[in-house]
Structure 1
């Protein structure tokens, strides 16, 4: 099952296991069970700390549980955790085997102190880059707290469950049989939803913090670069982010970040956070900015208020809140979001195996999505508003070579249709004839660009008609002492490498402002 190189790496990791445990597999005579058995045999063959039992009786097959001798931890994988979930498997093996988590002691104690019974089920796909964060968080919670149980379920393998629960987006999390959440969630976010007093306690801690020399709002590439450059100047630096990594977390393959031939978004996001935390930077996660109150006088303090109720003060502020997926804004889109309307083809594509889908958008993202989906679904229809596709020529050549892809240009999507439960089709307007055309399908993947996360700044800093923060060559905004960087600004070409440079520039400008203000 595992190649020699992967076995060698896994063997090195398993040397960190300090206490014995067992894997209990529930198998049948299917090919997938045989495949899982091969994987588990490989694992137990690499260490004498793990034993394998194949007498499990779980209703989901193939599946396996990780148990300590005489203790049912409540941690199970239903399916074969390869692809993006292989890391989740490795971490689960280590943590059940006694290797400590890198999460903060405060957060781990918060998990241990949760009262009540929590039975989680997470539906994932092996190609989903957002799913591992959720799976790993809930697995760790199961290891730490006997009241928490978690099963991670491969939605592509257990299609009957997916259909019964009408799951059309991953990760989808159920708690005690009821929907709990969709999309990327880290352990801190999950605990905050369970521990209702956590947000208020965090806000109280933030309110007590001394003013920063520079406060960066946003934890994407621009925010991370700004934090590093500020910290290296020896000034008091803080980063408040809704989720560290930003839009990069939703990016699959990255092949144009100079000096890094190939990586994935979540991996780069972790590297950014680790680099920032190598310096004296106060990182405050799960903080969504709500308003900015500029300093009333030169040398005064700017104030940023957050949705949590917290307020932070700083001599200078760098706005690096990035962007989000642009929506179609047509009838039915919001009603069927997560029920056939999706924005991540890598995450949700496997749930539409053998079905008909549409991709909205003919740029690089849309064409890449159509190419990837064509290998999974029965039929892809790509709709582009313009008269020609805007994607790179090499991508278009690949797209037009696929037999199950239809390209429609000059098409304005006007409505998402559904049966009350899930998507059943869409309507588009032919811009050449003004005729309306209906398509019957089960999924719609929207890939039409990004919108700046600047709504909270309206009326405070000068914005462009597109909602971008207007900046000059130094990253200065219309407010003295307030700078901006990255995809939220008017700087052209929304690229990671450009955002990093702009973040560094804004930070240097903020430092220059500080020394000139003394």
Structure 2
């Protein structure tokens, strides 16, 4: 059966574009959709200390990857994908439905959230999810970072170069040994949970479960960053649809996302070459 595309990738971050490249290398017709602009989390990152090869930044790495995939014939489409249908496999894209032989869903995660009453009201008034984006607003001031994974540690270290003091609060720290060593040099790490945000108009303090109150002009939240996996709901088990990157619930690291994108891309290639 003729289709509009061989492969549709939903989400043009590092996982999605790595999958797109793997498919395009086999001369498949590939389009990568993104609701806003290509880049995902990469465009919000500064220096990438854990990326192999010459020193680079998130935007520079994304620019190189985007140029690479476009040179290989991948088309970039803008707009939100709202649904997937099987038999025939159809993507409900911004420009209308398109048919495809395979789909890779790389839609990432939602921003982190605090399980604290009224936390949403602090968005834009001290509550943030991006150290590179909003860290400069807190230069020379005290901030709190909430989370317990490798991504949280990376963001805390980014803020340590900006803020006067960074306190990292995690219920069950699960970052790597190398991050533990780096954090010990620049960040105060506390085991615990946040129970309240306090301030008059803008954030002024963060209250912990043990009753301590930490002065803070900003709180950077990475807990409960749920996968954006709705597109995968209700699809038959044998559908030619793969997920890649943060949407799988895997550890939030760039290397993990890139490796997962490659895995998904190669799986698509194998499936389509068999059919």
Same fold (TM over 0.5): yes
Query: Is residue 2:20 matched to residue 1:234?
Result: no
Asked if the contact 1:250/1:266 (under 8 Å) is kept, the reply is: yes
**Deviation of the 1:254 alpha carbon:** 1.9
SS at match of 1:269: helix
When the two chains are superposed, the root-mean-square deviation of aligned CA atoms in Å is 2.8
- Which 10-residue stretch deviates more, 480-489 or 357-366? 357-366
In structure 2, what is the equivalent of residue 444 of structure 1? 219
Name 2:263's counterpart in structure 1.
Answer: 505
Deviations 1:300-325, CA, capped at 9 Å, x for gaps? x211114x463221122122222343
How many Å separate the matches in 2 of 1:438 and 1:275?
49
The C-alpha deviation readout for 1:268-310, integer Å capped at 9, x for no partner, is 111111001102222212x222111112xxxxx211114x463
- What do the CA deviations read for 1:15-40 (whole angstroms, capped 9, x no partner)? xxxxxxxxxxxxxxxxxxxxxxxxxx
**Aligned twin of 2:245:** 486
Task: Determine if the alignment matches structure 1 residue 417 to structure 2 residue 194.
Answer: no
Partner residue of 2:90 out of 263, 286, 303 = 303
Match of 1:458 in 2: 233
User: 1:206-253, CA deviations, whole angstroms, 9 ceiling, x for partnerless residues?
Assistant: xxxx61111111212222222222223223222112231212222322
The 2-side partners of 1:497 and 1:486 are apart by 10
Alpha-carbon distance between aligned partners in 2 of 1:425 and 1:309, rounded to the nearest angstrom: 46
Note the 1:159-178 alignment, pairs <5 A: none
Offset of residue 481 of structure 1:
1.6
Match of 1:385 among 158, 164, 171: 171
Shift in Å at residue 479 of structure 1? 3.4
Q: Tell me the secondary structure at the aligned position of residue 273 of structure 1.
A: helix
Asked which structure has the greater CA Rg, the reply is: 1
Partners of 2:157 and 2:102 lie apart in 1 by 45
Counterpart of 1:357 in 2: which secondary structure? strand
User: Within the alignment, does 1:293 sit opposite 2:51 as a pair?
Assistant: no
Q: Give yes or no for contact 2:150–2:252 (8 Å, CA) kept in 1.
A: no
Query: What's 2:47 paired with?
Result: 253
Q: Which has the higher contact order (CA 8 A, sep 6+)?
A: 2
Alignment deviations for residues 96-134 of structure 1 (CA, whole Å, 9 cap, x no partner): xxxxxxxxxxxxxxxxxxxxxxxxxxxxxxxxxxxxxxx
1:495 equivalent in alignment to 2:253: yes
Work out the CA distance in 2 between the residues paired with 1:445 and 1:427: 14
Change (3 A) 1:282 1:381: closer
SS at match of 2:50: coil
Change over 3 Å in CA distance of 1:495–1:441 after alignment to 2: closer
Q: Is the 8 A contact 2:149 2:252 kept in 1?
A: no
Using the alignment, how far apart are the partners of 2:208 and 2:81 within structure 1? 36
Deviation at 1:396, TM superposition (A): 4.0
Summarize the Cα distance change of 1:328–1:511 in structure 2 as closer, same or farther, 3 Å threshold.
same
Structure 2 spans left out of the alignment, 5+ residues: none
Partners in 1 of 2:130 and 2:101 — Cα distance? 39
Q: Does 1:271 align with 2:64?
A: yes
Please list, as runs of the form range in 1=range in 2, the aligned pairs for 1:22-421 lying within 5 A after superposition. Answer: 211-242=4-35, 243-258=37-52, 260-285=53-78, 287-295=79-87, 301-306=88-93, 308=94, 310-374=96-160, 376-386=162-172, 389-393=173-177, 395-397=179-181, 399-401=183-185, 406-409=188-191, 411-419=192-200, 421=201
Which secondary structure does the structure 2 equivalent of 1:487 belong to? helix
The number of residue pairs the alignment matches comes to: 272
Bigger shift: residues 363-372 or 326-335? 363-372
**Shift in alpha-carbon separation, 1:238–1:399, aligned structure 2, 3 A:** closer
Do the aligned residues in 1 keep the contact of 2:150 with 2:251 (CA within 8 Å)?
no
